[in-house]
Structure 1
Amino acid sequence: MCGGAGTAWGEGGEGQAVRTWRASRAPPLHHHPTLPSPPPPHPPLHLLLLLPKLFSKLSHWTKMASCPVPYCALLLLALPCVSLAQYEKYSFRSFPRHELMSLDSAYRHALDQYSSEKWPETVEYMEVSLRLYRLLRDSEAFCNLNCSSVRLDDESHFDSFPELRAFGNVMKRAQCLKRCKQGLPAFRQTLPSRETVEDFEKREPYKYLQFAYFKSNNLAKAVSAAHTFLLKHPDDEMMQRNMNYYKSLPGAEEHIKDLETKSYEALFIRSVRAYNGDNYRTSVSDMELALRDFFKVYDECIAASEGAREVRDFKDFYPSIADHYTEVLEQKVRCESDLTPVVGGFVVEKFVATMYHYLQFAYYKLNDLKNAVPCVASYLLFDSDDEVMKNNMVYYRYHKEKWGLTEEDFLPRPEAQRYYNQTTLQLQLLEFAKEKLRQDDEGEVLEFLDEYLDAEEK
């Protein structure tokens, strides 16, 4: 039995609040544009020096292990590779038939087992429910992405009837989605309730998993589950105490990992590591892969936001459509923050801009100005007031002829422009919906009617 007197367990965030990091603190290339050549540049930020614990070695803990340690700590040292994500054998296309069930049923059964203190069963069904949730999200994204470009066969027939054309395209897309979902096992189950989906969006299952792992003597996975929960709930005091206890055990830091991590996060960290080692070619290669992977995951996230909606009230046709789309927009807007990585307790602020920040300087160090300049322009999309980057742009323009640059080189990269436009327009539309379509807007309605009637009289 692991644990000790006075150890707090149950619901619960890490010993310190999640901090933010700005890539522009230590800017690269901030010289005056009239200088004949740039001074030695500074890196955007030395992540690896700032976060040494993220890359600590097991040797530090094995030295501590020479002292008497509790049984659970020895167990944790004996299982250096046990903290594998529950998605290791997950497959969207070949999900195990014996695990197919409704998400509500699996999650509810896991919670029942937790209440009954049946820890192996809790772990089994909580892990199954996490895989079922991922299957549902992946299935939604798959169908919505594949049907996103479906349109009427001949839209010209509807030139004089824009409303019919618009809803004709909606119906064609609905037909495509219906066919797609009929062939996927995730949609043969009862769809989960809104409350269940919100629990998984907030990583609530990991709150229960960390304790069930602990009670099952699986300390490595308990550490990972606690950390995974804390990334969404950094101020949860109970889980902070749990994590502080875990960190006191030899070998614990080897298992502080996000079980919901995305591949672009690992690529980003690897690129920064290469950057800090002055290996700019590798840094560029990995950062370009991280960018591409991030945009792919982002597209999947916003596509998965277009799932089922629980109808709670009766409204007219257009207000009902607007309500549904507002809910979809809220989820799409949240994708940007949900996909922002937390590295060693630090939120990588302005993540997409930060990737272009690293790229522009790495390309500069490789004397590849044709690729460096569009990265500067891309960064400025997201932070147009950044004085450092504006000075960089002035410098590049000053040496435009020397380096054979054209006006096209000073444009943002297409994928950056698309992402910026999409996130900006989504946010603007959501703000409009919240401001103009709220329930308590009777005063605005009366004012509008007065204006309308006055116009009619004229």
Structure 2
Amino acid sequence: MAARVLGLLAALLAVAAAASRAEVESEAGWDTVEPDLLFAEGTAAYARGDWAGVVLSMERALRSRAALRALRLRCRTQCAADLPWELDPDSPPSLAQASGAAALHDLRFFGSLLRRAACLRRCLGPPAAHSLSEEVELEFRKRSPYNYLQVAYFKINKLEKAVAAAHTFFVGNPEHIEMQQNLDYYQTMSGVKEDDFKDLEAKPHMHEFRLGVRLYSEEEPMEAVPHLETALQEYFVADEECRALCEGPYDYDGYNYLEYNADLFQAITDHYIQVLSCKQNCVTELASHPSREKPFEDFLPSHYNYLQFAYYNIGNYTQAIECAKTYLLFFPDDEVMKQNLAYYAAMLGEEQASSIGPRESAQEYRRRSLLEKELLFFAYDVFGIPFVDPDSWTPEEVIPKRLQEKQKSERETAVRISQEIGNLMKEIETLVEEKTKESLDVSRLTREGGPLLYEGISLTMNSKLLNGSQRVVMDGVISDDECQELQRLTNAAATSGDGYRGHTSPHTPSEKFYGVTVFKALKLGQEGKVPLQSAHLYYNVTEKVRRVMESYFRLDSPLYFSYSHLVCRTAIEEAQAERKDSSHPVHVDNCILNAETLVCVKEPPAYTFRDYSAILYLNGDFDGGNFYFTELDAKTVTAEVQPQCGRAVGFSSGTENPHGVKAVTRGQRCAIRTGESGWCCRHLFLEGPCFVSSFPESHCQWLTRERNTGLGTRSPSAMPPYRHCLMLHVTVLTFGVAKMGSDAELRVPPWKEMSPEPLRKYRHHPLGSSC
């Protein structure tokens, strides 16, 4: 006996020696550059504008990660096949047996374990020691490399690859608005084919399953069957791969390793249970698709459900019975499937039907899964290691009785607590809403009322008199002479439908709209088509309104123009009979108002980026056309303002200030409408595919300089100061400033660097001006 033990020990030492040699004799032939380093190189190349470098590094990063994954799969699969566990086929030794026999049993187990480890070490080589950080792994899971690649491909004129990369990223990030806009843009480009929109990270089993289900739903069972069968085959392949990748290092969950203190068998148990839990989670992993919020429920059994009915529809009762019986392996009490099976058996013949059994692959899968669940539930019950079963088909008897009772009690407690918390939260929300409304109204009333800055301007109505919050009416903002000069400018420079995409009557068929932007007026002034002095007056007046509003409302951050428009609306004389519509219906500037539900949704085409709005009136010699505020129902009028020369009305652009304009029934009503945002150059819309990136202040200053140069105004002192956005007001008139969110990011066009050409590609806001 002692000789046998010594022989086994000698064998184990030989295995250990072979393992140490394997450290320098890797079979992998591995590319020494690791995926995370390549990813970092790619992001650095993007920041430099080195598009070829982006493509090279990101493509290598994707290949490197895929190769590392493939190597681990190959090694773990091959070593498991070559070195299965060599346990004693007889039962484990009893206490009555000699201690030497028990030692031999343990040595056989650990001998198999060491040989498997040596095989893996030899196969994997140096890459076995490398693992991606959680942050970089998350970037790959989010498909971030494709976000960089789609821009880089576009830059180097590889359109087909750019489309595929953009589509791949969007499939993994379906809520990414900018990438959706990129794809919409690609679809309008010549040379782009439907086949170019492909998911480079598509899982074969999921692709085939979704295709099979679509054909099944279109009542094409003959075409659906091969795809569903292929989906099953690919599922089992993907399942084996997913399970093999679970056999990695132990996850200590943060800094727990500093306190981790376990003996041999406890350490083995902890790691093995973690691996088993990961393998069970492959059910969820394989049933997930980026386009769905939740995984497909009962994903594997559903294949057999689709197949049994598809086979029935094409008259293949043998396969229909096999798939029905396979489905019943997972859900033996499903009455509908039992009825289907009885019908198929009657059609085929009871004797022949009885000889058909469930598919062997499904039986093996189920047996293995149930054994794993038993171990996991045992560990949960005894060691307190949590396990959440991903399957709904697990028989109740697999779960220990004590754990069943504990889970039942926990569920009941959770439901009760959830209900109590829900009720409490509703009460708190109601109280908070009431208090917030009160405090907000008070704070706004106390904050507004800052200096009006210019002599001659007087406060006519504040928020209190206007029955709301963040509202003001001022008079004397400009003189009668200035009003008349700006009206003359309108008649000379304005064009029908300007600011409304050419629609001459955008809000009502009973009025015509004529408008001109500051930029257009200045350009016409430069060309000698209108007095340059009048164009400069237009510019200076809008800046004056901005400064007054910023001061009066005592804003913590400066305002920048997001839109300015001098617009006149003229009543069409023959269209006024029995008129009941408005000149401009009630709306909210920065969200889309649904007056019936009292909800306002912040999404385009509303000016979602706008914070404040102001209207400066140029005349009052017309009938109708009063500006008015309402409640969210768009019916209850809270205040009304009658236009006159030099009067300005200002207000915050949110849900607190729905507003509209009453019908102009005679004459012409002229006003300058401005919209201001608390965000400057860092939010500029550009057309075409794009990548979310910070917009450097140097580019902001560049926009200012280039636009100034284009207007013949080379000296910054020639215009009012704009805090790094000297002429942003003019730039934005045609091109729009957008508040894309709290993170202040810009979508940069991939086809050009910052130069005069892409500036012409900025968008008009689809709504034009209003009020």
TM-score interval for Structure 1 and Structure 2 normalised by the shorter chain? 0.5 to 0.7
Residue 90 of structure 2 corresponds to residue 159 of structure 1: no
Instruction: Give the structure 2 partner of residue 259 of structure 1.
Output: 200
Q: Aligned AA for 1:393?
A: L
Unpaired segments ≥5 residues, structure 1: 1-93, 441-458
Query: In 2, distance between residues paired with 1:166 and 1:368?
Result: 52
- In the other structure, the counterpart of 1:235 is 175
Conserved? CA contact 1:155–1:165, under 8 Å: no
Secondary structure of 2:151's match? helix
Once the two structures are TM-superposed, the CA of residue 341 in structure 1 deviates from its matched residue by 7.0
Deviation at 1:343, TM superposition (A): 10
Structure 2: how far apart are the matches of 1:381 and 1:305?
26
Match of 2:158 in 1: 218
3-state SS of 1:412 partner: coil
State the one-letter code of the partner of 2:279.
Answer: K
The equivalent of 2:465 in structure 1 is none
Does 2:278 correspond to 1:338?
no
Q: Does 1:321 align with 2:268?
A: yes
Aligned to 1:307: 248
1:27-46 correspondence to structure 2 within 5 Å? none
Matches within 5 A, 1:91-130: 99-130=31-62
Which residue does the alignment assign to 2:341? 393
The 1:272/1:121 distance shift into structure 2, 3 A limit, reads: same
What are the superposed Cα offsets for residues 380-409 of structure 1, whole Å, 9 maximum, x if unpaired? 445567654343124235x17835334452
Matches within 5 A, 1:53-452: 99-148=31-80, 150-152=84-86, 159-160=93-94, 165=105, 168-169=108-109, 171-184=111-124, 187=127, 190-249=130-189, 251=192, 253-265=194-206, 267-268=208-209, 284-309=225-250, 312=255, 313=257, 314-317=260-263, 318-340=265-287, 342=289, 350-382=298-330, 388-397=336-345, 399=346, 402-409=349-356, 411-423=357-369, 426=372
Q: Report the AA paired with residue 47 of structure 2.
A: S
CA contact (8 A) 2:225 2:311 kept: yes
The CA distance in 2 between the partners of 1:339 and 1:437, in whole Å, is 28
| Unaligned ranges ≥5, structure 2 | 1-26, 95-100, 387-771
Q: Check 1:439–1:343 CA distance in 2 against 1; reply closer, same or farther (3 A cut).
A: closer
Task: Mark the CA change 1:211 to 1:334 in structure 2 (over 3 Å): closer, same or farther.
Answer: farther
Shift of 1:107: 2.3
Moved more, 212-221 or 289-298: 212-221
How far, CA to CA, are the matches of 2:117 and 2:41 in structure 1?
Answer: 30
CA RMSD of the aligned region, Å? 4.1
Equivalent-residue separation in structure 2 for 1:154 and 1:297 (angstroms)? 32
Check the 8 A contact 2:41/2:57 in 1, yes or no.
yes
1:103, 1:191 within 8 Å by CA — same for their partners in 2? no
Distance 1:400 1:159 in 2: 54
Do 2:379 and 2:385's aligned partners in 1 also have CA atoms closer than 8 Å? no
Letter in 1 for 2:202: T
Q: SS of the counterpart of 2:80?
A: coil
TM-score, L = length of structure 2: 0.38
Task: Quickly say closer, same or farther: Cα 1:186–1:141, change in 2 above 3 A.
Answer: farther
Higher relative contact order (CA 8 A, sep 6+): 1
Q: 1:426 to 1:223 in 2, by over 3 A?
A: farther
Q: 1:375: Cα distance to partner?
A: 0.2
Match of 2:458 in 1: none
**d(CA) in 1 for partners of 2:385 and 2:91?**
38
Flag the 1:316–1:132 CA change in 2: closer, same or farther, 3 A.
Answer: same
Q: How far apart are the structure 1 equivalents of 2:103 and 2:176?
A: 50
Name the count of aligned residue pairs. Answer: 344
Distance in 2 of aligned mates of 1:332 and 1:200: 21
Contact 1:228/1:259, CA 8 A, preserved across alignment: yes
Q: Could you tell me which amino acid in structure 1 is paired with residue 39 of structure 2? A: Y
How far residue 257 of structure 1 moved from its aligned partner, in angstroms, is: 1.6
Give the CA deviation at 1:282: 6.3
Is 1:223–1:252's contact at 8 Å kept on the other side of the alignment?
no
**Normalized per residue, which structure has more helix?**
1
Q: State the alpha-carbon separation in 1 of the partners of residues 168 and 109 from structure 2.
A: 41
Query: Counterpart amino acid of 1:417?
Result: Q
Call closer, same or farther: CA 1:276–1:153 in 2, change over 3 Å.
closer
Aligned partner of residue 378 in structure 1, secondary structure: helix
**Residues 1-35 of structure 1, C-alpha deviations (whole Å, 9 max, x = no match):** xxxxxxxxxxxxxxxxxxxxxxxxxxxxxxxxxxx
CA gap 1:140/1:316 in 2 versus in 1, 3 angstroms:
same
Q: Is the contact between residue 307 and residue 320 of structure 2 (CA under 8 Å) also seen in structure 1? A: yes
Letter paired with 1:369 = Y
Which SS does the other structure have where 1:148 is aligned?
helix
What amino acid does structure 1 have at the position aligned with 2:46? Y
Residue 246 of structure 1 contacts residue 252 of structure 1 at CA under 8 Å; is this kept in 2?
Answer: no
Could you tell me how far 1:295 is from its partner in structure 2?
Answer: 0.8
Q: 1:243 to 1:280 in 2, by over 3 A?
A: closer
Separation of aligned partners in 2, 1:239 and 1:426: 42
Cross-structure match for 2:757: none
Change (3 A) 1:257 1:375: same
User: Which residue of structure 2 lines up, in the alignment, with residue 61 of structure 1?
Assistant: none
Preserved contact between residue 36 and residue 136 of structure 2 (Cα < 8 Å): yes
What CA distance in whole angstroms lies between the structure 2 residues aligned with 1:396 and 1:331?
Answer: 39
* Separation (CA, whole Å) in 1 of partners of 2:276 and 2:179: 32
* Separation of aligned partners in 2, 1:158 and 1:433: 21
Match of 2:234, as an amino acid? Answer: D
Q: Structure 1 156/395 Cα, relative in aligned 2: closer, same or farther at 3 Å?
A: closer
| 1:158–1:322 distance in 2 versus 1, CA, 3 Å | closer
Evaluate the alpha carbon distance shift between residue 105 and residue 166 of structure 1 in structure 2; reply closer, same or farther with a 3 A threshold.
Answer: farther
Amino acid at match of 1:374: E
Contact 2:87-2:105 at 8 Å conserved across structures: no
Question: Residue type matched to 1:152 in 2?
Answer: E
Q: For 2:172, what is the secondary structure of its paired residue? A: coil
Q: Secondary structure at the match of 2:309?
A: helix
Aligned residue for 2:136, secondary structure, equals helix
- Greater C-alpha radius of gyration: 2
1:205-259 deviation digits (Å, cap 9, x = unpaired): 3333333334433333233223323333333444344444444545364322210
